[in-house]
Chains A and B, each alone.
Chain A
Amino acid sequence: MSSQDIPEENLPAEQDHAHGAVGVADEENPFADPGLPPHEHRIQDIDERAARRSERMVALLFTVSMLATIGFIVSYLVIPNDKSIFVFPIGHISAMNFALGLTLGVALFCIGAGAVHWARTLMSDVEVADERHAIAASPEVRAKVHADFKLGAKESALGRRKLIRNTMFGALALVPLSGVMLLGGLGPAPGTKLRHTMWAKGKRLVNMNTNEPLRPEDVAVGSLTFAMPDGLEETQEDFQNEIAKAALMIVRLQPNNIKDKRELDWSHEGIVAFSKICTHVGCPISLYEQQTHHVLCPCHQSTFDLSDGARVIFGPAGHALPQLRIGVDSEGYLQALGDFEEPVGPAFWERG
């Protein structure tokens, strides 16, 4: 049959169908369901020219998609990977990423748009009602299943032979423990690992910028310096684990600005060394405001007052930043006078 015949052939049938679905107008109940409204034809259903236009549109979209795919292949083969182009208003971007993304996007989008346009304008748009059926089984089926199950259970004698039942449950309950045991290999027990850092008496404070040990005169009031323990190298296997605990933040205050007595005792000429690891969840905290002596954590905004024992003055951290007790060795370099006296970083159950 020719495509021209479709609308005319379908017209009367559809209209009959639609009329059939309309409910009887109810004089008694004005709110009653009038039934599905009669089907209305689209322009494409009655005007063959409009249908042809739709067809051409769909074909055009599919053709654009093909061209875009060719464009993708050409872009992939031709554009150098490191070529940068300026596209207004995006800026300087990778030519490859832009070309591949756009061609792929167009190729895919046009397939979708073509299919949807086809469905919307040329495929039948008659709404059909489908019956629903209750999900629950009928009482007969229900009774049959129950009876079958009881028969099966009885034949297995699981209820009667208690010894089998109990040992089977026991065996099934125990066997997953093997799997749980195997998980033990995932990691070591915590032990006291979280309590110690690399700092120890006599370890020099090494400037992270220059890799040189720090002298007190290097550290000016209002400056901010980060230090690690002498002997820690970036190339070391356990560098990440060690620096995660040992990272140090060094500032110098006027000794008369230090409000906390212990902080003053543990400082050297106003130079104080605090753990750089936030006591909340462990972000490297170092947003130091030299006029207020506050440090802010960029992750969750805990704020500590470095002039008052690094006490928490805002935010979700639960306790002060640990301070490292420092002094000067015989050669005039800043050195630690021991490890931190409390665990650094986030609090944990065994911390106490």
Chain B
Amino acid sequence: MKKLSARRRHPLAAVVVLLLALAATGGLYAAFAPAGKAQADETSQSLTIKEGKKLYAVGCASCHGTGGQGSSDGPSLVGVGAAAVDFQVGTGRMPAATSQGAQVPSKKNIYTQAQIDQLAAYIASLGAGPSVPTKQQYGPEGADIAKGGELFRTNCAQCHNFTGKGGALTKGKYAPSLEGVAPKHIYEAMQTGPQNMPSFPDTTMSEKNKKDIIAYLNAVNGSQTENPGGLELGGLGPVTEGLFAWIFGLGALIAVAVWVAARTAKAKKS
């Protein structure tokens, strides 16, 4: 205590106090601000849309236009539906960085689920589109994993690899890995066809088909998936296997050969 009071008059004391005050204010704002918006949860549908519109004006309108009509920087959002918003914002793809490469990557999501729901409600109000799927639609109950595998190999594996490890598309674009992607987002991606991915609407790929596919993915690329043979080596097939065989297989054998052929330590004459 004594020490503190002694330093009170230090020339830098004011600066320190100012910094502490700023940090405290920022921290308090961070703690309370989202909570304040989350209250919108309990209000009526129209209020949700209103809140969503506000969020839209701040985070989305600069590219997609003030009324979601689209601009040179972003496509029209009329009719894309709530599912598209839930996918794009929920996986962190939207809002996109201003300078993007060949495609918009997924990144850390900066909105709460409640905010995403508000945004989705607002976009859905602009024109009819696929709605956010319910847990019953993408949950594992009643799914046929084997049928899902067959569907996955017909519709998905060509871009996303046998077990959803991802793959290359043209000119720097890519089909992302499906590892750790929430079932809901996979369902929404099939429904809405984000970016260059084609959509697989219910008219050509039934709800049951989608459920089966998600169940298959969970079986072969989930956190509990067994790779009986050992290291998966990325699940990418012969390229990584070949590298492994060269580096660890032949590499180990050459190391052994060096030992076999090396001269044994000689007794030093002294």
Stretch of A89-97, A170-178, A188-196 with 4 or more beta carbons under 8 angstroms from chain B? A89-97
CB distance from B96 to the nearest CB of A (A): 14
- The answer to whether B170 touches A303, judged by C-beta atoms less than 8 angstroms apart, is yes
List chain A residues, Cβ under 8 A from B200.
Answer: 209, 223-225
The closest CB in chain B to the CB of A297 belongs to B158
Chain A contact surface mostly = mixed
- Asked if B27 is at the interface of the complex by the 8 Å CB criterion, the answer is no
What is the bound-complex CA distance between A90 and B225, given in angstroms?
A: 12
**Across-interface contacts of A116 in B (CB, < 8 A):** 259-260
Chain A, residues 8-21, CB within 8 Å of chain B (1/0): the string is 00000000000000
Residue of B nearest to A45 (CB): B267
Q: Report B-chain residues with C-beta under 8 Å of the C-beta of A207.
A: 204
Stretch among A59-67, A160-168, A214-222 lining the B interface: A214-222
Q: Which B residues touch A292, using CB under 8 A?
A: 170, 196
Given contacts A92-B226, A93-B227, A294-B170, contact A46 B264 (CB under 8 A): no
Query: Closest chain B residue to A84 by CB distance?
Result: B226
B interface, size bucket: 35 or more
Q: Which of B97-153 contact A (CB under 8 A)?
A: 151
* Residues of chain A lying within 8 A (CB to CB) of residue B95: none
Binds A, one of B35-43, B47-55, B229-237: B229-237
Kindly provide the distance from the CB of B78 to the nearest chain A CB, expressed in whole angstroms: 14
Q: Tell whether, in the assembled complex, residue A210 and residue B228 are in contact, meaning their CB atoms are under 8 Å apart.
A: no
Residues of A within 8 A of B226 (CB): 84, 91-94
Q: Is B181 an interface residue (CB 8 A)?
A: no
Residue total for A at the interface (Cβ-Cβ under 8 A)? 51
**Majority SS at the chain B contact face:** loop
Contact B267 A98 (CB under 8 A): no
Cβ of A298: which chain B residues have Cβ within 8 Å of it?
158-159, 167
* Residues of B close to A97: CB separation below 8 A: 228-230
**Which of A41, A90, A101, A224 contacts B198 (CB under 8 A)?**
A224
For A217, give the chain B residue with the smallest CB separation.
Answer: B203
In the complex the two chains form, what is the Cα distance from A33 to B263 in whole Å? Answer: 22
Check B230 against A98 for contact (C-beta < 8 Å).
yes
Q: Roughly how many angstroms separate A21 CA and B256 CA in the complex, as a whole number?
A: 32
Q: Which residue of B lies closest to A296 (CB)?
A: B170
CB–CB B198/A223 < 8 A = yes
Per a CB cutoff under 8 Å, which of A45, A46, A91, A226 touches B154?
A: A226
Tally of A-B Cβ pairs under 8 angstroms:
126
Residue of A nearest to B269 (CB): A40
Give A267-325 interface residues, CB cut-off 8 Å to B: 284-292, 294, 296, 298, 301, 303, 314
**Closest Cβ neighbor of A285 among chain B residues:** B158
CA of A120 to CA of B117, assembled, Å:
73
Return the chain B residue nearest A101 by Cβ.
B230
Given A287-B169, A289-B170, do A210 and B204 touch, yes or no (CB 8 Å)? yes
Residues of A near B269 (CB, < 8 A) are 40
Q: Is the C-beta of B201 less than 8 angstroms from some C-beta in chain A?
A: yes
A26-44 vs B, Cβ < 8 Å mask (1 yes, 0 no)? 0000000000000011111
Q: Is A47 an interface residue (CB 8 A)?
A: yes
The answer to whether B154 and A209 touch across the interface, beta carbons within 8 angstroms, is yes
Do B199 and A290 touch across chains, with their CB atoms under 8 A apart?
yes
Contacts of A224 in B (CB 8 A): 155, 198-200
Cα-based distance from A186 to B228 in the complex (angstroms): 39
State which of B154, B229, B267 has its C-beta within 8 Å of the C-beta of A43: B267
Binding site for A on B (CB under 8 A): 151, 154-155, 158-159, 167, 169-170, 173, 175, 193, 195-201, 203-206, 209, 224-232, 259-260, 262-267, 269
Which 9 residue pairs are nearest across A and B when measured between Cβ atoms?
Answer: A224-B198, A94-B228, A218-B203, A289-B196, A92-B226, A40-B266, A290-B198, A225-B204, A223-B199
Listed in ascending order, the chain A residues whose CB lies under 8 Å from chain B are 40-47, 84, 90-94, 97-98, 101, 116, 120-121, 125, 207-210, 214, 217-220, 222-226, 251, 284-292, 294, 296, 298, 301, 303, 314
Could you write out 8 A-B pairs with CB less than 8 Å apart? A40-B269, A116-B260, A209-B154, A210-B206, A223-B204, A226-B154, A287-B175, A288-B198
